[in-house]
Structure 1
Amino acid sequence: MIYLLAFFLPPVALLFYGKIFQAIFNAVIWIVGFIFLLLGGWVLWAIAVGHAIFVIHGARADARTQKIVDAINSGK
């Protein structure tokens, strides 16, 4: 579901994951890309969407790795 939000509103999806500076950076790219999207271009909009998906995937992977590390450390 978060990936669907990242596709339509990338800065909001990044804010949900607590990535404030990434969301600000993404908002700038997304807004400029959206303006150009209305004029026929889509490259910046696609970069903003890709950036949001990449950051969210990385945050999920970090959380998954932290769970594994915590499980290993609690077993010692």
Structure 2
Amino acid sequence: MPSRCEVFLEILLAILIPPLGVFFRHGCCSCEFFICLILTLLGYVPGIIYAVYAIVVREANPDDEWRPLNA
């Protein structure tokens, strides 16, 4: 679990450059990063809103995403 300081800095980066804040939490090849990048290119404010959502609400847990169907 990230510390409060890490979350604060990620949110600050998400306000300045939304995809960068999501990159530090989820990585560059994640679905969250690409969604944030597209929303930022379409409009700056939707990119900020989604970046803060992706940092605060969504947990970065790759084990849940890549679990096989029969497990």
TM-score tier by shorter-chain length is 0.5 to 0.7
Structure 1, unaligned stretches of length 5 or more? 34-44, 64-76
Partner of 1:57: 56
Residue identity opposite 1:22 in structure 2: E
Cα RMSD of the aligned pairs, angstroms, is: 1.8
Using the size of structure 2 for normalisation, the TM-score is 0.60
Q: Deviations over 1:5-49 (max 9, x none)?
A: 00011111111112521111110110121xxxxxxxxxxx21110
Identical counterparts, % of pairs: 20
Aligned residue type for 2:48: V
**Structure 2 residues without counterparts, runs of 5 or longer:** 1-8, 61-71
- Who is 1:32 aligned against? 42
Q: Aligned partner of 2:14: which letter?
A: A
Aligned-partner SS, 1:17: helix
Please say which structure displays the higher CA radius of gyration.
1
C-alpha distance in 1, partners of 2:38/2:31?
11
Higher helix content, 1 or 2: 1
Partner secondary structure for residue 46 of structure 2: helix
1:47 is matched with 46
Asked whether 1:16 is paired with 2:24, we answer: yes
Give TM-score scaled by structure 1 length.
0.56
For 1:51 and 1:24, how far apart are their aligned partners in 2?
11
